[in-house]
Amino acid sequence: MKILKVLFICLFTMSLVACKKDTKTTDSSNDSLSAKKDSVVVPEIHKEYYGIYMGDFAGKGMIAPEIGEPYEDIVYKKLSIKINRITRDSVYGQSIVDGNQRPFRGVFNEAAQSFVLDEPGNEKTDGRFEIKLKNDSITGKWTAFNKSAVKTAVKTLKLIKKEFVYNPNFMLDKNSDLIDWENPKDFVEKYIDKETGKTETYISSKNRVASDAVFSINASTKRLTEKDVKNLRKLDMEIIKNAVFARHGYAFKKQTYRSFFEQTDWYIPISNNVDNELSPMEKDNVALLNRFIKYAEDKYDEFGR
């Protein structure tokens, strides 16, 4: 009887081990099938269309002149579209306008050589691009999803393919407009009336202006010292500092900086954050300039527009 009991226990134990082994084998088999399923890569097509397309983004808007009443006309902005991936079913990429970077997803019609690309839709400025590709150019339109939330619900676009290249020697063009048109400041001016001899006052609106130093000081190629920057105007230092970020393709939200760098052929905005792209020397120069910008003064002058 004792022998039978021992034999029964042995058989039961062997059965449990076998079951555990079978379960492990089944689980392992399922994991393998799942891994194979997850590792399926959707083939990419038309990689020759990948890249950055940049140009005019135009729509009706109100223009406020310095003298006279506001009027409606075509307002032009700069738009960048970057196509990152194309498959049979989907297109992925991003758009950048006014420094605002938005992802998009859509489809590519191979026969018509056209795209329908949708931004996420959770911001009021999101919409749909309906565009056509021809050689290295893109034309078409953008329509806001929420037409009542934006000033211009439909805009046209005309873009040319560009290649982003980082070059530490890039500088503003010598014929650049060095005036900050976006931040005028009112000053109280005085004058003496020749007939009465009385001193009268009036309000004069003036704009910040940079100096030619922005054409010679490069914070990407030279380690700057306090002596290099201490006598510069505030706007000079802002331009020299932001030129570092512009060379790395930073998408400026401030119109002031966009206006300066969009005057060049090399500025191509590709990202809202390029901090990790800066060299150690560039980071040191930016830190130095930030220290002096806090206490620097601006030069203002009166300009017509």
The CATH number of the domain where 127 resides is what?
A: 2.40.128.120
Quote the number of domains for the chain.
2
What pTM does this model have? 0.81
Q: Residue 59 and residue 90: Cα distance in Å, rounded?
A: 28
The CATH number of the domain where 184 resides is what?
A: 1.20.58.1690
Residue for token pair 């500092």: 241
Q: Are residues 145 and 228 in the same domain?
A: no
The answer to whether 137 and 147 have CB atoms below 8 angstroms apart is: no
Average pLDDT, the chain: 88
Tell me the residue type at 34. S
Q: Which domain holds residue 234?
A: 179-301
Q: With 50 as the cut, is the pLDDT of residue 8 above it?
A: no
Q: Are residues 187 and 274 in the same domain?
A: yes
Q: With 50 as the cut, is the pLDDT of residue 33 above it?
A: no
The answer to whether 136 and 152 have CB atoms below 8 angstroms apart is: no
Residue 66 within a domain: yes
pLDDT at 69: 85
Residue 7 within a domain: no
Q: With 50 as the cut, is the pLDDT of residue 12 above it?
A: no
| pLDDT class of 270 with cuts at 50, 70, 90 | very high
